[in-house]
Structure 1
Amino acid sequence: MTMIISINPATGQEIARYALDAAADVELKLDGAARAQACWKRSSMAERAALLRSVAAVLRAQRDSLAAIITSEMGKPIAEAEGEIEKSAWTCEFYAESGPAFVGDVPVPSSAADSRVVFDPLGVVLAVMPWNYPLWQFVRCAAPAIIAGNAVLLKHANNVPHSALEIERIFREAGAPQGLVSTLMIQAEQVASVLGDTRVAAVALTGSTAVGKIVASQAGSLMKKQVLELGGSDPFIVLADADLSLAAKTAVKARFSNTGQSCISAKRFIVENAIADEFVALFRAEAEKLKVGNPLDRSTTIGPMARANLRGELDGQVRRTIAAGARIVLGGKPIEGPGFFYAPTIIDQVTSGMPAAVEETFGPAAAIIRAANADAAIDIANETEFGLGAALWTSDLDRAYRLTRRIEAGAVFVNALVASDPRLPFGGIKQSGYGRELGEFGIREFTNVKTVWFGQAA
Structure 2
Amino acid sequence: MENSIKESSVKSVNPFNNEIVKQFDVMNDKELESKISKADAAFKTWKKTAFNVRAKLLHKVASIMRDRKKELGALATLEMGKLHREAIQEVELSAAIFDYYADNGEKFLADSPLETPIGFAFLSYEPLGVLLSVQPWNFPFYQITRSAAPNIMAGNTMLFKHASNVPQCAQLMEDIFLEAGAPEGVYQNLFIPGEKASELVSDIRIKAVTLTGSEPAGASIAAAAGKYIKKSTLELGGSDAFIVLNDANIDEAVDAAVNGRMWNAGQVCTSPKRIIVEESIADSFLEKVKVKFASIKVGDPMSPETTLAPLSSEKAVEGVIKQVQQAVKEGATVLLGGKRIDRKGAFMEPTLLTNIEPGNSAYNEEIFGPVFMFYRVKDENEAVALANATNFGLGGSVFSGDEKRAVNVARQIETGMVYINHLTGITPELPFGGTKGSGYGREQSPAGIYEFVNAKLIRITKASNPN
- Common fold: TM-score over 0.5: yes
| Aligned 8 A contact 1:254 1:418 in 2 | no
Matches within 5 A, 1:383-398: 383-398=389-404
Alpha-carbon offset, residue 454 of structure 1: 0.6
Whole-angstrom CA distance in 1 between matches of 2:404 and 2:158: 43
Counterpart in the other structure of 1:73: 79
Alpha-carbon offset, residue 288 of structure 1: 2.1
Counterpart in the other structure of 1:12: 18
Letter in 1 for 2:136: P
1:369 is paired with a residue whose SS is: strand
Whole-angstrom CA distance in 2 between matches of 1:403 and 1:29: 49
Counterpart in the other structure of 1:267: 273
Whole-angstrom CA distance in 1 between matches of 2:440 and 2:449: 14
| Aligned 8 A contact 1:112 1:453 in 2 | no
Deviates more, 1:147-156 or 1:352-361: 352-361
In the superposition, the TM-score normalised over structure 2's length comes to: 0.96
1:277 is paired with a residue whose SS is: helix
Counterpart in the other structure of 1:456: 462
Matches within 5 A, 1:64-103: 64-103=70-109
Letter in 2 for 1:332: G
Matches within 5 A, 1:261-300: 261-300=267-306
Letter in 2 for 1:435: G
Counterpart in the other structure of 2:428: 422
Alpha-carbon offset, residue 223 of structure 1: 0.5
CA offsets 1:114-168 (integer angstroms, 9 cap, x no match): 1111211111110000000000000011100011111110000100011110010
CA offsets 1:257-296 (integer angstroms, 9 cap, x no match): 0000011111000111111111111122122222111111
Residue of 435, 438, 442 corresponding to 1:432: 438
C-alpha root-mean-square deviation of aligned residues, in Å? 1.2
1:30 aligns with 2:36: yes
In the superposition, the TM-score normalised over structure 1's length comes to: 0.98
1:207 aligns with 2:213: yes
Alpha-carbon offset, residue 55 of structure 1: 0.4
1:224 aligns with 2:230: yes
Alpha-carbon offset, residue 421 of structure 1: 1.8
Counterpart in the other structure of 1:355: 361
Counterpart in the other structure of 1:336: 342
1:245 aligns with 2:251: yes
Letter in 2 for 1:373: D
Alpha-carbon offset, residue 396 of structure 1: 1.4
Whole-angstrom CA distance in 2 between matches of 1:153 and 1:227: 15
In structure 1, stretches of 5+ residues that fail to align are: none
Deviates more, 1:431-440 or 1:190-199: 190-199
1:196 is paired with a residue whose SS is: coil
Q: Identity over aligned residues, as a percent? A: 40
Letter in 1 for 2:438: S
| Aligned 8 A contact 1:351 1:369 in 2 | no
| Aligned 8 A contact 1:77 1:300 in 2 | yes
Residue of 51, 54, 58 corresponding to 2:60: 54
CA offsets 1:34-60 (integer angstroms, 9 cap, x no match): 111111110111111111100000101
Whole-angstrom CA distance in 2 between matches of 1:37 and 1:276: 56
1:254 aligns with 2:260: yes
1:213 is paired with a residue whose SS is: helix
Letter in 2 for 1:70: A
2:241 is paired with a residue whose SS is: strand
Alpha-carbon offset, residue 457 of structure 1: 5.1
Letter in 1 for 2:210: A
In structure 2, stretches of 5+ residues that fail to align are: 1-6
